[in-house]
Amino acid sequence: MNCAAILLLTASCLVWSSPLHTPNKAAPKELKYLLDPPVYAEVAGRRGENATLPCILRTKPNHYKVKWTKLEPERVGTENIVMISNERSFKQYGHLGPRASLRRAHGMDASLQLSQLQLDDGGRFRCELVNGIEDESVVVTLSIDGVVFPYQSLTGRYKFTFHEAKEACAEQDGILASYSQLYRAWTEGLDWCNAGWLSDGTVHYPILYPRATCGGELLPGIRSYGPKDKNHDRFDAFCFTSLTSGSVFYISGAFTFSQAGHACGRAVAELAVVGQLYSAWHFQRYDQCDGGWLKDGSVRFPISAPRERCGGIPEPGVRSFGFPNKSHGLYGAYCYR
């Protein structure tokens, strides 16, 4: 992993923070009932797939219950319970409950199974054993495997409030990315000079190649504007998407935007949205050296094997022509079925 310092830009100074630094902590107490650390401290899954979060009992009290909770720091004072169980039965709670069950592979297994993973399922989950006045817990992180993409309004740069950015990502088959998702995208090569909203209401942008036009000759890292006013401040968006259930394909032609939509319709499909094209590029290594219309009126093309005649940029990515005139621009069509 690239260990370059993250740059936190504040109104008064630059604060340098290493992502690998952790303060000294007291040694955690040894747990009596639960296996700690868990079999896996982090579990990865893709949208639409299933995942199992491990929680194994070392010894079983006579009377106990196990409570699974999703930890959501942004919702201070609320507890997002997923399931409460004892040895005989369990009860599901909240929006995750209907997709949650206990694995019960053996008598000491309290692992949580989640089916049909969704984009916003990722995060930290706590398995807590309660035995009378005693309780102890372990935490397992669920990460959704996916791709972060920058997105801006067709009317130009820095047009979204926080709430508009959330809506824009949803329209492109995504959600606002978390800081950890943006950080991972940066380690995988994302370099973007426009600041965008993240899911926690902060604004950042990732820089691999420092330059004068992107914050100056500072070290590579995630540049931060910190928390901003969700109702009044305006920026672009960093969206996150994962595996899709359908497929993206290209129809060659010289279409206006309307004609491109009809071409997809004749193929029993519809114009793809930006997130679907990024998903195909990321998961299927989709490579097509031809600009094509997307549903939002933008024209893009995915490149997995960079070459000179396909944009000339040495890194893989989804290239953009912006938002051409829908009546006069003539391009192919990227369809989704």
Q: What is the pLDDT of residues 248-305, one digit of tens each?
A: 999 999 999 999 999 999 999 999 999 999 999 999 999 999 999 999 999 999 999 9
Is 102 domain-assigned?
yes
Q: What is the pLDDT of residues 98-126, one digit of tens each?
A: 999 999 999 899 999 999 999 999 999 99
Q: What pLDDT is attached to residue 133?
A: 85
Residue 277: CA count within 13 A, CB half-sphere: 31
Contacts of 323 (CB under 8 A, 6+ apart): 154, 296, 297, 298, 299
Distance separating alpha carbons of residues 160 and 236, to the nearest angstrom: 6
In this structure, what CATH number is given to the domain that contains residue 114? 2.60.40.10
Instruction: Note whether 186 and 253 are same-domain residues.
Output: no
Is 198 domain-assigned?
yes
Contact 82, 127 (CB under 8 A): no
Instruction: Note whether 226 and 274 are same-domain residues.
Output: no
Is 256 domain-assigned?
yes
Distance separating alpha carbons of residues 252 and 250, to the nearest angstrom: 6
Q: What is the pLDDT of residues 153-185, one digit of tens each?
A: 999 999 999 999 999 999 999 999 999 999 999
Instruction: Note whether 228 and 255 are same-domain residues.
Output: no
Q: Which domain holds residue 177?
A: 152-242
Per-residue pLDDT for 199 more than 50? yes
Q: What pLDDT is attached to residue 312?
A: 84
